[in-house]
Structure 1
Amino acid sequence: MPDGVDLSRRGLFRGQLSARAPEVQLPWSIPWSDFVADCTRCGDCLTACPEQILVKGDGGFPTVNFQLGECTFCGDCVSACKQPLFRPTSEVAWHYVAQIEAGCLAHAQVFCQRCQDSCEPRAIRFSPQLGRVPTPDIDTNSCNGCGACVADCPVGSIKISMPNGKSAA
């Protein structure tokens, strides 16, 4: 049986014979097709994560769940892995950035700036507007994609993804 094949009933009925790439891969991870080919799904990276934001995703492969917290880029997941699934931690961890979606409270004229308060690199700023509540802007050059803003958003209007719809691989 090839590595990465999900033979569960659910996967077969849905026509999924391999694990779909998650929205957010682990920091410093290699391209998804190579990752699933060599990942043993041992769970060492999950237990090594001090933030406990790594979870089993599709096919049992690890993925990041920012609803549980933020990535501190500690590198413990990389250190715990016995397989060659990661790039050197001296490189940029990833190119993901935060994206604010239409359901943001500020777009509905409700004052909320929790995402800005949780953003350590100060990539989220609120621009004052005459006669309206301030609306958020993300400086994609400053955003490191850590996800701190995701769990802090009371309406779930922030997601972490590649800028401009680019592929992670």
Structure 2
Amino acid sequence: MRPPGAQPEFVRLCDGCGACARACPQGIIAGNASAGPEVRLDTRACTFCQDCARACPTGALAVMEQPGWDWRATVDATCLSMNGIACRACEDACDERAIRFRLMIGGRAAPGIDPDQCTGCGACAPVCPSGSIGFIVPEIVQEVRA
């Protein structure tokens, strides 16, 4: 996952200098000259502060009028709640209130993520004890860009 503000020409423009990673107050940007920077949401969330974009000397990242990105959280079948173990850590961590649980037969609860509310910040991921949260670009966003 590229940092917020990644431009369409990101791969061509990024020289791997690491300025974005050094500027990130959350410490969630990692990478090297050959792989380029990557956002890792397994320890902290992105606050969309845009310090990474402001630090980018090549224009590979640009400051956005409305910070955010296309990534949205998704939950896989290893979710504790879906397997009958009481857990709502992701819901509690989500400031956007994008995660809601729906009660199911047998005392289980299935998490549902509202893609219109989810910012993809990743606040839900580091608190998930089973590591069940990943990130995708929803098909509707992909279709709009095509």
- Structure 1 residue runs without a partner (length 5+): 1-23
Decide which of 4, 15, 27 is 1:52's aligned counterpart. 27
2:55 to 72, 80, 88: 80
- Deviation above 4 Å: which 4+ runs of structure 1? 165-169
- 2: CA distance, partners of 1:130 / 1:107: 11
- 1:130 CA displacement: 4.8
Measured in 2, the distance between the counterparts of 1:164 and 1:116 equals 23
Map 1:59-70 → 2, pairs under 5 A? 59-70=34-45
Select 2:5's aligned residue among 13, 23, 28.
28
Contact persistence 1:97–1:145 (CA under 8 A): yes
1:140 aligns with 2:115: yes
Cα distance in 1 for partners of 2:140, 2:134 equals 12
Q: Does 1:119 pair with 2:67?
A: no
What do the CA deviations read for 1:18-47 (whole angstroms, capped 9, x no partner)?
xxxxxx11101112xx21212111111001
CA distance in 1, matches of 2:113, 2:83: 18
Deviations 1:132-158 (A, max 9, x none): 232211011000000111111111110
Number of equivalent positions: 144
Partner of 1:148: helix, strand, or coil? Answer: coil
For the Cα contact (< 8 Å) 2:15–2:33, is it kept in 1?
Answer: no
Q: TM-score, normalization: structure 2?
A: 0.89
> Which structure has the greater CA radius of gyration?
1
> Which range moved further: 109-118 or 121-130?
121-130
The superposition leaves residues 82-102 of structure 1 with CA deviations (integer Å, 9 ceiling, x where unpaired) of 111134410452111000111
Q: How many angstroms apart in 1 are the aligned matches of 2:83 and 2:14?
A: 43
Aligned residue type for 1:26? P
Q: Deviations over 1:103-140 (max 9, x none)?
A: 11112111100000110100001122354232211011
**What's the % identity of the aligned pairs?**
37
| Cα pair 1:97 1:160 within 8 Å, conserved | yes
Summarize the Cα distance change of 1:114–1:94 in structure 2 as closer, same or farther, 3 Å threshold.
Answer: same
For normalisation by structure 1, the TM-score amounts to 0.78
**One-letter amino acid of the counterpart of residue 47, structure 1:** R
